[in-house]
C-alpha cells in the first residue's frame, strides 16, 4: 500500500494565469505565495490532519463515510495552495493512478454495494491526461448504474484554458457528474473562469463550491458576500465553507472558530439561503466533517474547543 504522506517542505507552484490576476499581498497572492510563517509547526498540527491514511482501503481509495469513497487519482496540482490539508501528499512522486490501481479501486467499490458516490480527488484530477480521465470515468460507470461521480478541482479558476472541447465531451459522456470547485475569493471569478464555468454548466455538469475560511484572504462578510453572490450568478451553488484543517505550517491562515461563527452569522443576514454555504470542520484525528455551530462545541478549556461528531467521537481544535 502506498504511504500517502512524506515529510513536507515548502514548494511553490502557480499558473501564469492565476499569478497575473494577483498583486503582492492580495487575497489571490496569499493562496499561492509561500510565507515564512509556514516554518512554524504547532504541536497539534499534523501531516495527515484528516487521518486519511487510517481509511485507505486500496492504494488510491479512501473510504471514510459509508456511501461515498474518495479516489486519489494524482498527487499533482497546477497551483500549490498554501493552506492545503494534503500538502504533505502533493507532488511526492506518487503520480497518476495506474491502470491496475484503477482496477483495484473499482473492485473494492464493486464489492461494497453501499457505495453510491465516487469522488475523484488528489491532487487535481483534471491534471491527468484526458485519455486517463476518460478511462477512470468509464471504469467507474461500468461498476453499476446510478453511481454518482464528483470531481474535486480548482482548474476552472487556476487554468480555465484546460476546460477544452475534448474535456467537455468526456464529461458529457459520463453524466451525471458533479464538480466540486474550490473558489475562495471573488477575484477568482474573471471573464476566463466564468466562461469555463458556463461551458461546464452547458455540458450538464452540476457545479458546487467549497471554500476554506482563510485569514487575511476571505475572513470578511463583505468578501464572502461578493463571492457567494458572484457564484450564484454563474450557477455555482456554495456548498461548504471549511474551517482550516490543522495541516502543518498553516496556523497564520486559520481564522479562530469564534470569529468564523460571527462571520457566518452575519453573512446569513446578508445573503439568500441558496447563496449560503454550510460552515463545517473536519474533526482532527479522523472524526470526519461536522457542521460547525455553537452546539457542536461540547466543551472548551483555555486552549481548545472540544468537538463531537454524531458517533460520539470527540476531537479538539485550537481556539486561536
Ligand atoms: C469530505 C469528504 C467526503 C464527502 O463528504 P460530503 O459531506 O458528502 O461532501 C467523502 N470522503 C472523504 C474522505 C471526505 O473527506
Residue ranges lining ligand 1, Cβ < 6 Å: 50, 62, 64-65, 68, 70, 119, 289
Give the tens place of pLDDT for each residue, 25-57. Answer: 999 999 999 999 999 999 999 999 999 999 999
Return the closest-CA partner of residue 46 out of 182, 250, 301.
250
Weakest-pLDDT range from 81-90, 222-231, 265-274, 299-308: 81-90
| Cβ neighbours for 111, distance < 8 A, ≥ 6 positions apart | none
Give the pTM.
0.95
| Cβ neighbours for 295, distance < 8 A, ≥ 6 positions apart | none
Instruction: Output the CA 62–ligand 1 centroid distance in Å.
Output: 10
| Cβ–Cβ under 8 Å, residues 293 and 258 | no
C-alpha cell of residue 23: 498583486
Per DSSP, what are the bridge partners of residue 61? Answer: 58, 71
Instruction: Output the CA 65–ligand 1 centroid distance in Å.
Output: 7
For residues 138-156, average pLDDT: 97
Instruction: Output the CA 69–ligand 1 centroid distance in Å.
Output: 8
131 is an active site residue:
no
Q: Choose the catalytic residue: 42, 68, 139, 225.
A: 68
Measure the CA–CA gap between 29 and 34, rounded to whole angstroms.
Answer: 9
Please tell me the predicted confidence (pLDDT) of residue 243: 98
Dihedral class, residue 55 (left if φ above 0, else alpha if ψ from -120 to 50, else beta): alpha
Determine whether 80 is exposed, middle or buried from the number of CB atoms within 10 Å of its CB (0-12, 13-18, 19+): middle
pLDDT tops 70 at residue 6: no
Residue % of the chain over a pLDDT of 90: 92
Q: Which atom of ligand 1 is nearest to the CA of 69?
A: 11
Number of Cβ atoms within 10 Å of the Cβ of 160: 20
319 is an active site residue:
no
Q: Which atom of ligand 1 is nearest to the CA of 239?
A: 9
Return the closest-CA partner of residue 183 out of 18, 9, 12, 7.
18
- The single residue listed with the C-alpha cell 490532519 is 49
Return the closest-CA partner of residue 177 out of 207, 139, 135, 144.
207
Measure the CA–CA gap between 208 and 146, rounded to whole angstroms.
Answer: 19
Q: Which CA distances in Å does 194 have to 17, 154, 178, 202, 252?
A: 14, 13, 17, 12, 30
84 is an active site residue:
yes
302 is an active site residue:
no
Instruction: Output the CA 261–ligand 1 centroid distance in Å.
Output: 22
Please tell me the predicted confidence (pLDDT) of residue 138: 97
Helix/strand/coil for 58: strand
- How is residue 231 annotated by DSSP? H
| Cβ–Cβ under 8 Å, residues 109 and 143 | yes
Return the closest-CA partner of residue 119 out of 150, 155, 77.
150
At 3, the pLDDT band (50, 70, 90 cuts) reads very low
Helix/strand/coil for 98: coil
| Cβ–Cβ under 8 Å, residues 297 and 306 | yes
Give the tens place of pLDDT for each residue, 242-251. Answer: 999 999 999 9
pLDDT tops 90 at residue 89: no
Nearest CA to ligand 1 atom 13: 64
226 is an active site residue:
no
106 is an active site residue:
no
At 94, the pLDDT band (50, 70, 90 cuts) reads confident
Identify the architecture of domain 2-318 in CATH: Alpha-Beta Barrel (3.20)
Please tell me the predicted confidence (pLDDT) of residue 91: 85
Q: Which atom of ligand 1 is nearest to the CA of 64?
A: 13
Please tell me the predicted confidence (pLDDT) of residue 10: 64
pLDDT tops 60 at residue 8: no
Amino acid at each position: 500500500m502506498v504511504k500517502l504522506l512524506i515529510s513536507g517542505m515548502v514548494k511553490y507552484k502557480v499558473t501564469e494565469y492565476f499569478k497575473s490576476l494577483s498583486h503582492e499581498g492580495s487575497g489571490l497572492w496569499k493562496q499561492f505565495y509561500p510565507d515564512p510563517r509556514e516554518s512554524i509547526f504547532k504541536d497539534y498540527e499534523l501531516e495527515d490532519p484528516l487521518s486519511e491514511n487510517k481509511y485507505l482501503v486500496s492504494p488510491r481509495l479512501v473510504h471514510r463515510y459509508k456511501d461515498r469513497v474518495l479516489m486519489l487519482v494524482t498527487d499533482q496540482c497546477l497551483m500549490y495552495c498554501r493552506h492545503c490539508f494534503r500538502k504533505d501528499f502533493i507532488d511526492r512522486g506518487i503520480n497518476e493512478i495506474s491502470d491496475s490501481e484503477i482496477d483495484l479501486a473499482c473492485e473494492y467499490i464493486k464489492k461494497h454495494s453501499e457505495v453510491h458516490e465516487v469522488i475523484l480527488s488528489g491532487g487535481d484530477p483534471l491534471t491527468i491526461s484526458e485519455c486517463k480521465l476518460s478511462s477512470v470515468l468509464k471504469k467507474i460507470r461500468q461498476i453499476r448504474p446510478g453511481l454518482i461521480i464528483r470531481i474535486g478541482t480548482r482548474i476552472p479558476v487556476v487554468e480555465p484554458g484546460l476546460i477544452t472541447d475534448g474535456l467537455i465531451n468526456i464529461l458529457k459522456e459520463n453524466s451525471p457528474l458533479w464538480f466540486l470547485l474550490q473558489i475562495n475569493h471573488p477575484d477568482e471569478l474573471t471573464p476566463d473562469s466564468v466562461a469555463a464555468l458556463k461551458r461546464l454548466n452547458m455540458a450538464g455538469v452540476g457545479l458546487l463550491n467549497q471554500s476554506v475560511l482563510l485569514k487575511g484572504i476571505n475572513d470578511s462578510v463583505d468578501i464572502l458576500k461578493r463571492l457567494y453572490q458572484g457564484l450564484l450568478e454563474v450557477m455555482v451553488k456554495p456548498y461548504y465553507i471549511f474551517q482550516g484543517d490543522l495541516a502543518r505550517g498553516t496556523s497564520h491562515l486559520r481564522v479562530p472558530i469564534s470569529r468564523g461563527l460571527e462571520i457566518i452569522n452575519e453573512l446569513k443576514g446578508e445573503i439568500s439561503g441558496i447563496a449560503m454555504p454550510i460552515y463545517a470542520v473536519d474533526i482532527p484525528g479522523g472524526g470526519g466533517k461536522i457542521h460547525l455551530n455553537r452546539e457542536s462545541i461540547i466543551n472548551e478549556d483555555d486552549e481548545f474547543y472540544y468537538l463531537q461528531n454524531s458517533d460520539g467521537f470527540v476531537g479538539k481544535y485550537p481556539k486561536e
